[in-house]
Structure 1
Amino acid sequence: MGTLARKSKTASSDIYLYLGLKEVRKENPGIPRVLSLISSILERSVQKNEMLVETAQIKDVVTIFHGSRAPSLGVRQYIDRIFKYSCCSPSCFVVAHIYVERFIQRMNVHLTALNVHRLLITSVMVAAKFIDDAFFNNAYYAKVGGVSTAELNRLEMKFLFGLDFRLHVSVQTFGNYCLQVEKEAGAGIQIERPILACGIKECWSSKDDSSCASTIAR
């Protein structure tokens, strides 16, 4: 699956091409522009909420997605890492962001530096399972995300219950969101890559991958 960009009639084909949701030349696929735009939106949201929490204008509701301290890896770098190793379609990141927005609205929480990473890896994994034909198991996504498998299992269950298991995203909603991303960030046929070509060969700290699993948990 993962073909929401191809089916949508709401947003124009040009927008999908611009966002990198439609097929590009396979010899030089690059990173879809939608990833950087979503990263920018998330970073602005985190910065705004951090400021509001600091000035006590909002209360940060602590959930199991919160860490004791913010990871050193930025949102943009984290999203790029997930895309590089998960092999999921670019459309998954659009759907994942829609899921995150639904979750924070239903659970009345705010995106901050303490929870954004866990919400991202969980939402992308859930989106890949729902819309892509092929996906990895939780243990693999946990390694990509820098958490333990047991923790990611708990995060997935909390996320699904938080969404009331309502994972369907209509073609119209997907198209409208793409228009919103293009507008807010100022400015398909998904990019397909063979799953066997993907492998985790590097860590955020450029050390062996065995040290990655505890990176976010700290």
Structure 2
Amino acid sequence: MESPSPTKVELPTSFEEVSIDDLVELIADMLQRLMSHNDKIPLLPENLSRFHSGSVPHISVLDYLKRIVQYTNVEKACLLLTLNYIDLISTRMPTFIFTSLVCHRFLIAAITASSKGLCDAFCTNQLYAKVGGITVTELNCLEQEFLSAVDWHLVCARDMLNEYYINLVRTNGSGRFALAGDTPQGGSDNDVDLDSVMSRDSSPDIPIRHVSSETPAPTIQASPEGVPRATLEQNMAFAALRQSQHQLHSSPYQQLN
């Protein structure tokens, strides 16, 4: 006997109106699928960056995002911007591959920077570091590396953010989310109305595995303005193609897992 299909949760077509819990689940699902794909690519010296942890942190990307939301009151736009940043950096840095070793440190750096770029009020780096499970010194270095990687492009058009959101709903792996009215095109002409993110007075007391790294960051070369930005799915396919081409011109002992 076949198990019943999951009950669909109907979500609004505007990311401003969606529950932040549902948005976090959608983003975590996309990032987990991206990491599952990219983790099969062997880690090469040229791929190492300051974002790499020494080992995969013992906290899932979903729980990590939930923790950040709980203790920093991060804006929905900042969460969606992390996807735009991945696409932007993948375009500007051919060696950048988003994996489970990169995810956590990248997310806390991206949310720290985007909150400062978008919001009138934001948390201190001391709090972001404690929530992220790293030291303030590490976060400062990560933030500087991140800003260089995105060339200080911390914001994008509201319609682009909504396109990311619409794509998340339509491609989510759980199969339990659907857009209200099954709208074929996402976005509207309304401007983003961002609320200020407020710092919490109390520090988080939930323990988290320390996310550390000893790897140096490579030099980042700037690319010309106006470079088209690929989607996450396109970057996944491009990463696989780039790796297969690399194998043809490298050691025969380096193979895809």
Q: Which interval holds the TM-score relative to the shorter structure?
A: 0.7 to 0.9
Residue 33 of structure 1, CA deviation: 0.6
Residue 52 of structure 1, CA deviation: 3.0
Residue 192 of structure 1, CA deviation: 7.5
Give the number of the structure whose alpha-carbon radius of gyration is greater: 2
> Does residue 1:161 correspond to 2:148, yes or no?
yes
Change in CA separation of 1:193 and 1:175 when aligned onto 2, cut-off 3 Å: closer
> Does residue 1:103 correspond to 2:98, yes or no?
no
Residue 35 of structure 1, CA deviation: 0.5
Aligned to 2:8: none
Q: Deviations over 1:42-66 (max 9, x none)?
A: 0011011112338xxx887000110
Among 212, 220, 225, the residue aligned to 1:217 = 212
Q: Supply the distance in 2 between the matched residues of 1:93 and 1:193 (Cα, whole angstroms).
A: 12
Among 40, 52, 56, the residue aligned to 1:51 = 40
What letter corresponds to residue 22 of structure 1 in structure 2? E
Q: Deviations over 1:75-109 (max 9, x none)?
A: 11111111111112122101122112212332221
> Does residue 1:180 correspond to 2:161, yes or no?
no
**Structure 2: gaps spanning 5 or more residues:** 1-10, 178-191, 214-257
Structure with a larger share of its residues in helix: 1
What letter corresponds to residue 85 of structure 1 in structure 2? Y
Residue 23 of structure 1, CA deviation: 7.6
Among 131, 134, 142, the residue aligned to 2:129 = 142
Residues 70-81 of structure 1 aligned to structure 2 (within 5 Å): 70-81=56-67
Q: Supply the distance in 2 between the matched residues of 1:134 and 1:172 (Cα, whole angstroms).
A: 24
Aligned to 1:122: 109
> Does residue 1:37 correspond to 2:37, yes or no?
no
SS at match of 2:39: helix
**Structure 1: gaps spanning 5 or more residues:** 1-12, 25-30, 205-211
Native 8 Å contact 1:67 1:216 kept in 2? yes
Native 8 Å contact 1:35 1:80 kept in 2? yes
Native 8 Å contact 1:144 1:200 kept in 2? yes
Q: Supply the distance in 1 between the matched residues of 2:205 and 2:146 (Cα, whole angstroms).
A: 28
Native 8 Å contact 1:96 1:124 kept in 2? yes
Residue 190 of structure 1, CA deviation: 6.3
SS at match of 2:12: helix
Aligned to 2:17: 22
What's the C-alpha RMSD, in Å, of the aligned pairs?
A: 2.6
Q: Supply the distance in 1 between the matched residues of 2:149 and 2:196 (Cα, whole angstroms).
A: 30
What letter corresponds to residue 132 of structure 1 in structure 2? C
